Chain A
Amino acid sequence: MGQDITQTLVEQIAQAHQEARPLAIHGGGTKGFLGHDLVGEVVDITGHQGIVNYQPVELVMTVRAGTPLAEVEAALAEKGQCLAFEPPSFGSAATIGGTIATGLSGPARPYTGSARDFMLGVRVINGQGQALRFGGEVMKNVAGYDVSRLMTASHGSLGLITEVSLKVLPVAKSVKTLATSASANEAIALFNRLAGQPLPISATAWAEGQAYIRLSGAASAVDAAAKQIGGELADNSVWASLKELTHNSVAEQSTLWRLSVPQTASLDLDCPLIEWGGGQRWYTGDAPEQELRAKVEAVGGHATLYRGQAERVFHPLNPAMSALHSRIKHSFDPKALFNVGRFHPEF
């Protein structure tokens, strides 16, 4: 199954290193909007495909980066397992490599963890064309720095991810969604109050005057919690539309900002969609970029542009962090080949 083109990729990158030629990493192209324009010769990962190792009883899958996300999810579903961080795909062409490189997580994120939380191991080719392997297929591994997680959400700035090993989990036996009318502030307060109680909550969201709560786990536990929390039973399909940003509250908006803030933060911005217990809020208004960023930063958060126009896609780093990032970039990619300026302009 699949194809291993590591050698070709190594040669291409080594050549580029020799010639100090910039490279642009391409996967399925579904998240092109998430970052500044790519410059340089294309490194195409989509030809590097296949599930390398999947032992359901070990709760681990190792897969080449160009493998479609859909194929990964199908293989897991067949064994009653899943990627518990519920990555959004933003299109059928999405690859697992792009999923990890962007580090996006879905509705379950505050309750079961993020993409990086499920990373166990990675193979990367660094900016010198060296194929490296970090981490592995075991649940715990502290040999050396945790490069696997550092690569997650690095947007291709440190190297080319060629293979990932992910922790996978059994699919919940029972899933139910509750809906109840609430204002945005009421919903945030409710989500946080419930999060402090031992309940099998796996997702929360608020949109269009409705607070949604998803319960996942053993049927008996889900039923008992549903009774305790109350509210109307709603369709589970709402979570897929939220994850893919096709929900009515945000689907058609031409401006879309993702605001990542502390869950209980009180934010003076009108957000039509709130997820992650208040930790991820989507803003579609026309506040100027600087003002928006300042407001979000003041509560300890940051803003990312998904749709529309702005000077920067990602939130700027402070000078000390910016300098450190440049040094880290240099340590992996000394000649600055990979995705230069895509993540942050300074590297």
Chain B
Amino acid sequence: MTAIQSGLLDQAIIDDRRARIVPKLQAILSSDQLKVTQEDLAPFETDGLAPYRRMPMVVALPTDKAQVIAIMKACQSEDIPVVTRGAGTGLSGGAMPHEGGVLLSMTKMNAIQNIDPDARIITVQPGIRNAAVTQAVAPYGLYYAPDPSSQIACSIGGNIAENSGGVHCLKYGLTVHNVLQATVITIDGGELTLGGESLDAPGLDLMAALIGSEGMLGVVVEAKLKLLPIPQVTKVVSAAFDDLGTAGRAVGDIIAAGIIPAGLEMMDKLSLQAAENFLNAGYPTWAEALLLCEVDGTAEEVQEHIEDVTQVLKTAGAVEVKVARDDAERELFWKGRKSAFPAVGQISPDYYCMDGTIPRGELPEVLQKISDMQDKYGLQCANVFHAGDGNLHPLIMFDGNDPVQAEKAQQYGSEILTTCVEHGGTITGEHGVGVEKINEMCVQFPGEELTQFHALKRAFDAKELMNPGKAIPTLNRCAEFGHMHVHHGEMPHPELERF
């Protein structure tokens, strides 16, 4: 799991490609928009999933749509892959570069183009930060609902690529529910407008295909986002449990009571400690698990729900139930929750963040299994996740300077994901497949679905130049991986030759 060095193109091929593409890019971009030397390229070799690294051949930083179109045309004509990168905060290696391709960094295209408060729509370039959108529309009493934990830094373009979620999905949905329109440049330089300001658009729902497509179909150069009114009142209840399983069951009890919380999050002991180290938020670090349950709405509604939730949590076995004193304390609770991943960096040099999603009812059992695996692999695992969505984020801690640990962390992760699939879930809820979960896709889709995915991709990108090798594995890759993962005694893709 170190820098990827096997299966790479020969240096001669890379050199040839670079020699062909650089003059074309130089005609499009200024010198500070084009990186070609090793020194300049290295900081782009990885995204938010640092263990996966690969040197890009060239990095291009366009400043407008016309440049993106020109770059795409140049790459298509030279048969050179394009990997699009947003803020580089992704946790599945979706923006890991291609050694023989152009890395298209969209960070210079970060402008707000229009705010229409009456229609509650903001038009932005893809490089804008998620949190900057909400900040810009706050004066109008509006906000943008999807709030991935990395929202301070992650970009809207990246959110669209991954169909990012966040802590408020259960009530307000994912990126796919909150983007109205996207202007997309395909690899041939063509411009498509998907969706629209109307509530539906003619033809197929191609926004659905685009959102979550991990940069495999095209490059977003502009997006119109739906804005919501800021709720009158927001309150958060925190419930401390002395047992992880009990906390897991309490999640179901809240939903069963007919309440759809704005957010329902869980942190285990290790992640609580990490977040507390960073913020001193006053988390109960003695607890085995902490549930954060946010309710919003009108003052009357919130009062009603807070009372109900408090009652449900107490009945479910919470040891301590508290309502955040004020907005400052509530924001502190969330800041701690949202910083929990990197805060784990304080207690471990590296971590590997999983993203499996399971039916909520399976939480207690799956949490136990993940916890038990710690002994098997000899690694600690913190857990901090979107309990309301059943979206787990186990953080496997390891030392990347120790190759044995790194290897074990990967095996641990793979077993967690397989467990999620076995419990009726999925290998990725919101982080995407990227390069990291590509093998587990074979577990998720043992049938012809992968072939269908590839066919759909070719409808947008006939030469398969957009982000090759990510998101959807080839059948050959699955056959190879199948050696290790014989599922219930069945060999997937028996028709394929084994290597």
A86 within 8 A of B: no
- Provide 5 A-B residue pairs closer than 8 Å at the C-beta atoms, listed in order of the A residue: A126-B452, A145-B472, A198-B297, A280-B199, A324-B206
Of the listed stretches B286-294, B398-406, B456-464, name the one at the interface; the rest are far from the partner chain. B456-464
A72 within 8 A of B: no
B453 touches A302 (CB 8 A): no
Using an 8 Å CB-CB cutoff, how does the interface string of A127-165 with B read, 1 for contact, 0 for none? 000111110111111111111111011100110000000
Of the listed stretches B78-86, B104-112, B352-360, name the one at the interface; the rest are far from the partner chain. B352-360
Taking CB atoms, residues of chain B closer than 8 Å to A138 are 357-359, 389-391, 424-426, 429
Task: Select from chain A the residue with minimum beta-carbon distance to B253.
Answer: A57
- Cβ of A314 to closest chain B Cβ, rounded Å: 6
Q: A140-B426, A146-B209, A302-B196 are in contact. List 17 more A-B contacts (CB 8 A).
A: A56-B256, A59-B255, A109-B199, A117-B173, A136-B425, A137-B359, A138-B358, A138-B391, A142-B428, A143-B427, A144-B453, A145-B457, A192-B120, A195-B120, A224-B299, A314-B203, A328-B204
A55 touches B361 (CB 8 A): yes
Task: Select from chain A the residue with minimum beta-carbon distance to B256.
Answer: A57
Interface of chain B residues 118 through 155 with chain A (CB within 8 A): 118-120, 140-142
CA distance A136 to B389 in the complex (A): 13
Interface centre among B199, B231, B298, B358 (most CB of A within 10 A): B199
CA distance A277 to B319 in the complex (A): 46
CA distance A199 to B117 in the complex (A): 16
- Cβ of B71 to closest chain A Cβ, rounded Å: 19
CA distance A110 to B425 in the complex (A): 29
CA distance A149 to B471 in the complex (A): 18
Taking CB atoms, residues of chain A closer than 8 Å to B460 are 324, 327
A110 touches B229 (CB 8 A): no
Taking CB atoms, residues of chain A closer than 8 Å to B191 are 320
B190 touches A320 (CB 8 A): yes
Of the listed stretches B47-55, B275-283, B443-451, name the one at the interface; the rest are far from the partner chain. B443-451
CA distance A158 to B402 in the complex (A): 49
Taking CB atoms, residues of chain A closer than 8 Å to B212 are 142, 145-146
Interface centre among B299, B359, B441 (most CB of A within 10 A): B359
Given contacts A146-B163, A218-B304, contact A136 B424 (CB under 8 A): yes
Interface centre among B169, B191, B424 (most CB of A within 10 A): B424
Of the candidates A146, A150, A173, A279, the one whose C-beta lies within 8 Å of that of B198 is: A279
CA distance A120 to B248 in the complex (A): 22
Taking CB atoms, residues of chain A closer than 8 Å to B441 are 143-144
Taking CB atoms, residues of chain A closer than 8 Å to B427 are 143
Task: Select from chain A the residue with minimum beta-carbon distance to B207.
Answer: A149
Interface of chain B residues 264 through 308 with chain A (CB within 8 A): 297-301, 303-305
A206 within 8 A of B: no
B202 touches A316 (CB 8 A): yes
A331 touches B455 (CB 8 A): yes
CA distance A220 to B390 in the complex (A): 30
CA distance A192 to B458 in the complex (A): 41
Using an 8 Å CB-CB cutoff, how does the interface string of A83-119 with B read, 1 for contact, 0 for none? 0000000000000000000010000011001101100
Task: Select from chain A the residue with minimum beta-carbon distance to B175.
Answer: A142
A196 touches B456 (CB 8 A): no
**Interface size, B (range):** 35 or more
B162 within 8 A of A: yes
B456 touches A140 (CB 8 A): no
A113 touches B361 (CB 8 A): no
B452 touches A132 (CB 8 A): yes
B255 touches A142 (CB 8 A): no
Of the candidates A130, A140, A198, A220, the one whose C-beta lies within 8 Å of that of B300 is: A220
CA distance A255 to B282 in the complex (A): 65
B230 touches A144 (CB 8 A): no
- Cβ of B30 to closest chain A Cβ, rounded Å: 30
CA distance A225 to B120 in the complex (A): 20
CA distance A223 to B390 in the complex (A): 33
Using an 8 Å CB-CB cutoff, how does the interface string of A306-347 with B read, 1 for contact, 0 for none? 000000001111001100110110111000000000001000
Task: Select from chain B the residue with minimum beta-carbon distance to A128.
Answer: B448
A262 within 8 A of B: yes
Of the candidates A114, A130, A145, A261, the one whose C-beta lies within 8 Å of that of B453 is: A145
- Cβ of B495 to closest chain A Cβ, rounded Å: 13
- Cβ of A213 to closest chain B Cβ, rounded Å: 15
Of the listed stretches B20-28, B324-332, B430-438, name the one at the interface; the rest are far from the partner chain. B430-438
B165 within 8 A of A: yes
CA distance A158 to B204 in the complex (A): 10
Given contacts A140-B389, A196-B118, A200-B297, contact A261 B198 (CB under 8 A): yes
- Cβ of A341 to closest chain B Cβ, rounded Å: 14
B29 within 8 A of A: no
Taking CB atoms, residues of chain B closer than 8 Å to A327 are 458-460
Given contacts A58-B359, A143-B441, A196-B118, contact A221 B298 (CB under 8 A): yes
B452 touches A146 (CB 8 A): no
A276 within 8 A of B: yes
B198 touches A260 (CB 8 A): yes
B208 touches A152 (CB 8 A): yes
Interface centre among B116, B141, B211, B360 (most CB of A within 10 A): B360
Task: Select from chain B the residue with minimum beta-carbon distance to A109.
Answer: B199
Of the candidates B116, B118, B230, the one whose C-beta lies within 8 Å of that of A198 is: B230
Task: Select from chain B the residue with minimum beta-carbon distance to A317.
Answer: B203
Taking CB atoms, residues of chain B closer than 8 Å to A137 are 359, 424
Of the candidates A109, A143, A221, the one whose C-beta lies within 8 Å of that of B297 is: A221
Given contacts A58-B360, A198-B232, A302-B202, contact A139 B305 (CB under 8 A): no
Interface of chain B residues 465 through 494 with chain A (CB within 8 A): 471-472
| 6 A-B pairs with least C-beta separation | A149-B208, A220-B300, A140-B429, A221-B301, A331-B455, A327-B459
B209 touches A150 (CB 8 A): yes
B177 within 8 A of A: yes
Taking CB atoms, residues of chain B closer than 8 Å to A150 are 204-206, 208-209
B429 touches A130 (CB 8 A): no
Given contacts A59-B255, A150-B204, A150-B209, contact A143 B424 (CB under 8 A): no
Using an 8 Å CB-CB cutoff, how does the interface string of A51-62 with B read, 1 for contact, 0 for none? 000011111100
A180 within 8 A of B: no
Taking CB atoms, residues of chain A closer than 8 Å to B9 are none
B204 touches A110 (CB 8 A): no
- Cβ of A265 to closest chain B Cβ, rounded Å: 8
CA distance A103 to B207 in the complex (A): 14
Taking CB atoms, residues of chain B closer than 8 Å to A136 are 424-426
B170 within 8 A of A: yes
CA distance A156 to B298 in the complex (A): 42
Task: Select from chain B the residue with minimum beta-carbon distance to A296.
Answer: B198
Task: Select from chain B the residue with minimum beta-carbon distance to A258.
Answer: B200
B364 within 8 A of A: no
Taking CB atoms, residues of chain B closer than 8 Å to A284 are none
B213 within 8 A of A: yes
Taking CB atoms, residues of chain A closer than 8 Å to B201 are 260, 302
Of the candidates B162, B232, B299, B357, the one whose C-beta lies within 8 Å of that of A139 is: B357
Taking CB atoms, residues of chain A closer than 8 Å to B456 are 145, 147, 328, 331-332
B197 within 8 A of A: yes
Taking CB atoms, residues of chain B closer than 8 Å to A114 are 199-200
A134 touches B304 (CB 8 A): no
Of the candidates B213, B252, B459, the one whose C-beta lies within 8 Å of that of A328 is: B459
Taking CB atoms, residues of chain B closer than 8 Å to A8 are none
B174 within 8 A of A: yes
